[in-house]
Chains A and B, each alone.
Chain A
Amino acid sequence: MILDEETLELRDMVREFVDNEIIPNAPEYEKKNEFAYPILDVAINEMGLGCLCQPEEFGGAGLSNVAFLTLSEEIARGDLGIATTLFGNCLATYPVLIAGTDEQKKLWFDTLDEKKYAAFCLTEPNAGSDAGGVRTSAVADGDDYVINGTKCFISNGGIAGIYTVLAVTDPKKGVLGLSAFIVERDRDGVSIGKEEDKMGMRLSNTTEVIFDHVRVPKDHLLGKLNRGFKIIMETLDHSRAGVGAFGVGIAQRALEEATKYAKQRVQFGQPVANFQAVQHILADMAIEIECARQAYLHAGELIDAGLPYKMESAIAKTKGSDTAMKCAIDGLQVLGGYGYMKEYPLEKLVRDAKILQIYEGTNQIQRGVIAGCLLKKY
């Protein structure tokens, strides 16, 4: 698709920020094992990139999904950890947008505006791909629900001021016994467990979040009782296209770095970019990237048009993440031994890319979703 003027201008503006602030500075934070708060502060407080799905009536920019995804690609091109931190806010926000009342939305965005970060708490030690297997429970008690359980691998878990949480409200009913809740970080009984030491995406905070007899008022239930699973599945259908855009960002960065390097690295008396074997690696990367980009844009267009997008979103996620993995590895190859060294950005792109095939539903699960749609259709 052809992007409109406004989207292009917003993309260029974010690209300038990525090129000036993220690309030169993020590696330092990663090396020092520090969270990139100073970069995030500019992104959130100055540029308003904190929650790009925030609707206009709640103080947001009211972006189209196409623009939203375009900016997702751009930020991931800079650093996937920073992208996951910023867009983790949106992942956590979707259940509220899908099922929340106006009061709940107001509570959510007021808290998010103040605390800056939110997290989406679905995964548990025994409920990964099998999201319906959550054990965290929410039991009605007077005017409250009392929540007990441990969530793991939660992006923004340790920095969030507010969470969306999926919990069991009727243990006998399987996925029709699950409900979604809003839980503030400062409620008694909410604590942060283990912080994960990850292969890549080092600038994203991933932790356990523990709920120990946490009381939330009944008005913190999102949507209908026992209908939370559907809200969470719809959330993931929507957010997945964004993972595809992240993948394109990483792949695009790999292509740019590899192409620049190939033009200046001289072997056999000429730049290695002169060798057809190298050119074809770059061309293949460009082919994959363009297809993956069109895939997420198409999903975005469908969402904006109010049309069904479940399958296209899963395709965008799978294609984008597989493209990231392939282009990061192939881009590294173009740098030869230098690509394997930490002084060059490619090894980091490889380490970062891998998570995209795993989180928000593994690519095996995505292929299951796509096949499910196909089998229904034909």
Chain B
Amino acid sequence: MNILVCVKQVPDTTSIKIDPIKHTLIRTGVPSIVNPYDAYALEMAARIKDAVGGKICALSMGPEMAKDALKECLSVGADEAYLISDRVFGGSDTLATSCIISTAIKLLEEKNGAPFDLIFCGKQAIDGDTGQVGPEIAEHLDRALITYAYESQIEGDAIKVRRESDEGYDMLLAHFPAVVTVEKTPYEPRYPSIKSKMAARKAQITTLTSAEVTVDENSRGLKGSPTKVKSTYTAEVQKNGQTISGLDGSLAGAKIASLLFDAGIIK
């Protein structure tokens, strides 16, 4: 089983603040992490590797610093890692990014002499939250796509995926080669071991530049990015809740019950 996992290095949004005037992320002093959904995707891939054997390759696009994220992947299941990094790729939107990543995937597949059986992505990156790159990769490569995988298992030459929805869940099957985007799984990503961590620190990560990943000038960077950001804003959190105050416990309880009753939520 040959598996590719796409990962992005993102600022740890749990410790990030938003500039209240410019509405942009204040990135200074914020630690970088592997996008959490990519970590779930890698864990799903690692569990497949544990079950049926195979090899996992991690691929990221970003600045040199993103090698730290790839090293983390190497310590929790990935066997090799590549970083796509070049100034001319800077400023790429999701379309240009997916185009560049797909070109790099084709390059790796040529090198391997076979397509990846499975390509995993996180369902979205927690900094941009678009959720577009995974599906776009499937489109560029003309592969089957399953989004929002919650659990999965291998059945012969196909992957069977459970996808949760508001109404229940779907069971979906895709034959290899396929692209799967992963949401928060029912299990947590594994811890690195002391040995895997030490080995990953020393691992050499190959950088792929525009010399190898040849993408038309009009499909990469700012030029290849049709997305125009008109404005960004912090979404107002709707507070529909009601606070009951000034009553002691039992009276407050009775008040809540009567409100819920009036609203038809309890009968």
Q: Name A residues whose Cβ lies closer than 8 Å to a Cβ of B.
A: 6, 9-10, 13, 16-17, 42, 46-49, 52, 60-61, 63, 71
Contacts and interface: CB of A to CB of B under 8 A. Distances in A.
B191 A61 contact: no
Contacts of A61: 194-195, 198
Most chain A beta-carbon neighbours within 10 Å: one of B190, B193, B201: B193
A46 B198 CA distance: 14
Contact residues of A: prevailing secondary structure? helix
Contact of A6 (B190, B196, B198): B198
B62 interface: no
B201 A13 contact: no
B90 interface: no
Q: Which 10 pairs show the lowest CB-CB distances between chains A and B? A: A48-B193, A61-B194, A48-B194, A61-B195, A47-B191, A47-B193, A46-B191, A48-B195, A17-B191, A46-B190
B197 A13 contact: yes
A10 B197 contact: yes
A49 B190 CA distance: 14
B192 interface: yes
A46 B197 CA distance: 12
Most chain A beta-carbon neighbours within 10 Å: one of B191, B195, B197, B198: B191
Interface residues of B, number: 10
20 contacts: A6-B201, A10-B194, A10-B197, A10-B198, A13-B192, A13-B194, A13-B197, A17-B191, A42-B191, A46-B190, A46-B191, A47-B191, A47-B193, A48-B194, A48-B195, A48-B196, A49-B194, A60-B195, A61-B194, A71-B194
A353 B128 CA distance: 48
Contacts, number: 33
A107 B219 CA distance: 60
B37 to A, nearest CB: 19
A317 B198 CA distance: 28
Contacts of B198: 6, 10, 61
Nearest to A45: B193
Contacts of B190: 46
A16 B198 CA distance: 16
Nearest to B201: A6
A48 B192 CA distance: 9
B196 to A, nearest CB: 8
Nearest to B195: A61
A10 B193 CA distance: 9
B195 A13 contact: no
A46 to B, nearest CB: 5
Contacts of A42: 191
Contacts of B192: 13, 47
Nearest to A63: B194
A152 to B, nearest CB: 33
Nearest to A21: B191
A219 B201 CA distance: 40
A42 B193 CA distance: 10
A47 B194 contact: yes
Contacts of A47: 191-194
Given A6-B198, A48-B193, A52-B194, 5 more contacts: A42-B191, A48-B194, A48-B196, A49-B194, A61-B198
Interface in B185-218: 190-198, 201
Contacts of B194: 10, 13, 47-49, 52, 61, 63, 71
A13 B192 CA distance: 8
A9 B197 contact: yes
Contacts of A46: 190-191, 193
B72 to A, nearest CB: 10
A10 B201 CA distance: 10
Interface in B123-151: none
